[in-house]
């Protein structure tokens, strides 16, 4: 454009043609140079793109700062909430383990099996308590009476203790009769209720005796002798001695009975052997299937 304009001016002004031509040449060369450099120079990156890339991390930092500020603002609220939670009483979490079931109901005494009879000393002590019930007012009086009863019982002779032993034997027979009558009328439901209550109290369960207890094989001669020796005066003195260096009272009775049985002659053992043979013959006649299997 500049060269054409210069030529047009030069054609109308002949005086300045030379000068104009020279200037037009210069301008044309300068234009070519500039045009050349325009196409050959490297492309410069626009500053706008650089500003966008530079401003991107700045926005992230602002987001982080805003998050921090919001977190710091929310922190006091959380602290207040924790304080309120601590001030309020915690409600106990209900779970299956913490729930305590109610204890099983007590079975009336009339529906329970009869109680076992006491031994000789307990029978003596109960009689002594009945005689001195007016003097017993506190628990210490009962303890003092128990100590006195123990010293009195240990000072008794076998003849003085024998009436109590005889009465215990009578009570045992009555107890066995009552127990047999009880098991005839006791229902399985009552037995389950009794065992549930005994388990809750930490006591052993009771079991219905087997229906074929009277079908058992009779005891041998030696076991008959042990029962007889346990009820004798010598056996009772060993039992009353309690725990000794050789063992408990029941162990000492069995040990002494075994030593005496081995020292006995055949004529001394004959009554026990004959009683066993007689009962065994009756048992074999009434229950042949049981005797054959045994």
pLDDT in tens, 126-184: 999 998 888 888 888 888 889 999 999 999 998 899 999 999 999 999 999 998 888 88
Distance CA 29, CA 27 (A): 5
Question: Average pLDDT, stretch 115-124?
Answer: 91
pLDDT of amino acid 293: 55
Task: Name the residue with higher pLDDT: 279 or 67.
Answer: 279
Model confidence at 287: pLDDT above 60: yes
pLDDT of residue 107: 84
Residue 67 tokens read as 């998050």
In the chain, the percentage of residues whose pLDDT exceeds 70 is: 62
Tokens found for residue 134: 């007016």
Question: Hey, CA dihedral for 132, 135, 136, 140, is it positive or negative?
Answer: negative
Rounded Cα–Cα distance for residues 49 and 202 (Å): 88
């Amino acid at each position: 454009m500049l060269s054409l304009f210069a030529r047009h001016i030069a054609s109308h002004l002949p005086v300045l043609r030379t000068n104009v031509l020279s200037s037009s040449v210069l301008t044309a060369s300068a234009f070519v140079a500039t045009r050349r450099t325009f196409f050959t120079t490297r492309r410069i990156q626009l500053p706008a793109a650089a500003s966008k890339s530079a401003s991107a991390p700045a926005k992230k930092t602002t987001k982080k700062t805003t998050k921090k500020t919001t977190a710091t603002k929310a922190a006091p609220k959380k602290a207040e909430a924790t304080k309120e939670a601590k001030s309020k009483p915690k409600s106990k979490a209900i779970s299956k383990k913490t729930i305590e079931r109610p204890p099983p109901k007590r079975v009336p005494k009339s529906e329970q099996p009869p109680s076992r009879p006491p031994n000789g000393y307990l029978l003596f002590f109960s009689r002594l308590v009945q005689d001195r019930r007016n003097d017993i007012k506190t628990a210490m009086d009962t303890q003092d009476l128990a100590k006195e009863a123990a010293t009195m019982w240990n000072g008794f002779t076998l003849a003085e203790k024998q009436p109590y032993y005889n009465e215990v034997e009578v009570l045992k027979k009555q107890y066995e009769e009552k127990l047999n009558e009880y098991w005839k009328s006791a229902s399985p439901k009552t037995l389950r209720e009794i065992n549930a209550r005994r388990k809750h109290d930490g006591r052993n369960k009771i079991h219905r005796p087997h229906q074929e207890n009277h079908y058992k094989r009779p005891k041998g001669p030696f076991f008959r002798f042990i029962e007889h020796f346990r009820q004798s005066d010598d056996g009772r003195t060993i039992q009353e001695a309690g725990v000794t260096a050789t063992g408990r009272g029941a162990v000492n009775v069995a040990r002494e009975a075994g030593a005496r049985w081995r020292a006995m002659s055949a004529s001394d053992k004959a009554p026990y052997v004959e009683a066993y043979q007689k009962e065994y013959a009756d048992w074999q006649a009434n229950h042949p299937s049981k005797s054959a299997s045994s």
